[in-house]
Chains A and B, each alone.
Chain A
Amino acid sequence: MFDINKYEFDQEHNCLEIGGEAMVFHCHHYMMNLQRTILDADYIQSELFLVGSAADALYCQLSNLCEGLDIDASKKMAQDIYKTFGYGLIDLSDMDADGIELQTTKSFFSQNWVLKYGASKKPVDYYTTGFLAAAYAVIYDKNLEDIFAQQSSCMACGDTNNTFIIRQGACNFARYPKKQATVFKDVAKVSLNWEYEELITNAFLGAHATMVGNEDGLIPAFGVYLVRTQSDYINRLQFEFAKAMSDVAGEYGETLAGELLMEAGHACGFFTYGGIMNSVEWEGAVKPYLKTKEDWIKGLAAIVNTMGWGYHTAVELSEQRAIFRNYNDFEDLSYMRMYGTNKHPIHWANSGGFTGLMQLVYNTDIVNGEKIETEEGFRAMRRSKVGYKTKMTKGISCGDDYLEVEIYL
């Protein structure tokens, strides 16, 4: 099994890097919502970047992790990170210099797609298609440009397993320029200004390492399925989708894309943060220190600051209005590594997550023990007439020192 503990959590920047790739957790609600949003726009050739984003991130990561390893050890490394990160199970033993036809019945994407949306008309495991293309390229020293990768059967379509065909051939996914190194924004941080912050954060430091794939290669936690994913993979999906929508319809398209991308963040905030607040760990280690609803938000921030998403804090916080910041947030850092700077904030997942958190704490009865877990509960919350509005005001990729978002009624 791949040992996460060999990779030290960067407490100064609240991030974790493995094999040169920043890693972040996302829940199946976010991952499925984001992918469905992209696929809804069927006039965009999204398969190119859905596969290409994974292939690019995994090629970079596996190139580092497999350096100096022989073919068998490299195959084991690829299999192990796939399982450890929560994507399911793959067996690369039949891979050779000509490629592989791989079958599996354990797939985060295919299983969770059915769980959330029911059957699909098309295969949905684009990530694994890109993952396998990258593994083949790294293990057999091929250029990604010369690899054909395809998913030919999918459990989400009713097939008995997922089948992937990886071989030499004309490349059928997007390729991207070399990325820049991570540049952190080292500025003084405004803290949560909460007396229990350090206590809670210290209690959960290192807990991320316990969230690894089980015997099925899945990470069930807090009532959701988590994946530990490459930040540049998942964020490139957002950026490429927004760009494609902008290409079709200019500012209207980009604005609409932003609204949809933020919705995926809402789902994450509602289900994952709600799951954390309903968990045994929260009950034992956090809840005893919570007196007000604002404490609930600060307690949540103190925990998620140990998960690799940056340093979350609130500079204003009330039921009517909140201003949240994230120092060294994963979206902006990804954007700058891959695209440089931008004129508009692009941190839709963070901002949607903060908004979901406000709705969760102030628009549900979670602080009094209400369970937060159903799709209907999510719909009811989102349709509430007292819904919060979201204004993304600052972003590191825009030249600011931190991400900032205003959430208000």
Chain B
Amino acid sequence: MSRDIKPLFDWANKIGDANINNRILAKAMPALIAAKFVLTDTMIREDISFDVPYDIFDVLKKSAEELLNASYEEGK
């Protein structure tokens, strides 16, 4: 099972810093490494959609929410 991370990062970019992608990746880095999953700012920016496993999505979502002090609700 996988899930597109683009809406999550679009939301983060709408309300966060210009470099929020890298901040989220840095915060989630240990989990990404443990899952052997390499994700970069360029990959996020250049792809129209980017599917990742559910557990990776959850880690990225939690990191984004912590950094932005806000809750992510898809579609809003």
Spell out A's residues near B (CB within 8 Å). Answer: 37, 40-43, 245, 248-249, 252-253, 256-257, 259-260, 263, 378-379, 381-383
B18–A40 CB distance below 8 A: no
Contacts of B19 in A (CB 8 A): 259-260, 263, 382
- CB<8 Å pairs between A and B, sample of 28: A40-B23, A40-B26, A40-B27, A40-B67, A41-B29, A42-B27, A245-B26, A245-B29, A248-B30, A249-B29, A249-B30, A249-B32, A249-B33, A252-B29, A252-B38, A253-B33, A256-B25, A256-B40, A257-B26, A260-B23, A260-B26, A378-B18, A379-B17, A379-B18, A381-B18, A382-B18, A382-B19, A383-B13
Alpha-carbon distance A138/B22, docked complex (angstroms): 40
Contacts of B41 in A (CB 8 A): 259
Alpha-carbon distance A248/B22, docked complex (angstroms): 16
Alpha-carbon distance A378/B17, docked complex (angstroms): 9
| Smallest CB-CB A-B distances: 6 pairs | A382-B18, A263-B19, A249-B33, A379-B18, A259-B22, A43-B30
Contacts of B29 in A (CB 8 A): 41, 43, 245, 248-249, 252-253, 256
Alpha-carbon distance A276/B20, docked complex (angstroms): 27
Give the Cβ gap from A12 to chain B, nearest Cβ, in Å.
37
Contacts of A253 in B (CB 8 A): 29, 33
A248–B25 CB distance below 8 A: no
B22–A260 CB distance below 8 A: yes
Contacts of A248 in B (CB 8 A): 29-30, 33
Write the B19-51 contact mask toward A (1 if CB under 8 angstroms, else 0).
Answer: 100110111011011000010110000000000
Contacts of B17 in A (CB 8 A): 379
Give the Cβ gap from B33 to chain A, nearest Cβ, in Å.
5
Contacts of B13 in A (CB 8 A): 383
Alpha-carbon distance A235/B29, docked complex (angstroms): 23
Write the B61-72 contact mask toward A (1 if CB under 8 angstroms, else 0).
Answer: 000000100000
Contacts of A37 in B (CB 8 A): 23, 26
Alpha-carbon distance A119/B57, docked complex (angstroms): 28
Nearest-CB residue, chain A, relative to B33: A249
Alpha-carbon distance A41/B31, docked complex (angstroms): 12
B33–A263 CB distance below 8 A: no
Alpha-carbon distance A245/B38, docked complex (angstroms): 14
Alpha-carbon distance A178/B23, docked complex (angstroms): 33
Alpha-carbon distance A245/B13, docked complex (angstroms): 24
Give the Cβ gap from B52 to chain A, nearest Cβ, in Å.
16
Nearest-CB residue, chain B, relative to A381: B18
Alpha-carbon distance A248/B25, docked complex (angstroms): 13
Give the Cβ gap from B37 to chain A, nearest Cβ, in Å.
10
Given the known A-B contacts A41-B27, A248-B30, are A256 and B22 also in contact in the complex, defined by CB atoms under 8 Å?
yes
Contacts of B40 in A (CB 8 A): 256
Contacts of B67 in A (CB 8 A): 40
Alpha-carbon distance A256/B13, docked complex (angstroms): 18
Give the Cβ gap from A36 to chain B, nearest Cβ, in Å.
9
Contacts of A378 in B (CB 8 A): 18
Q: A40, A245, A263: which has the most chain B beta carbons within 10 Å? A: A40
Nearest-CB residue, chain A, relative to B18: A382
- Which of B18, B26, B32, B33 is in CB contact (< 8 Å) with A41? B26
Nearest-CB residue, chain A, relative to B67: A40
Alpha-carbon distance A248/B27, docked complex (angstroms): 12
Give the Cβ gap from A261 to chain B, nearest Cβ, in Å.
10
Nearest-CB residue, chain B, relative to A384: B18
B26–A256 CB distance below 8 A: yes
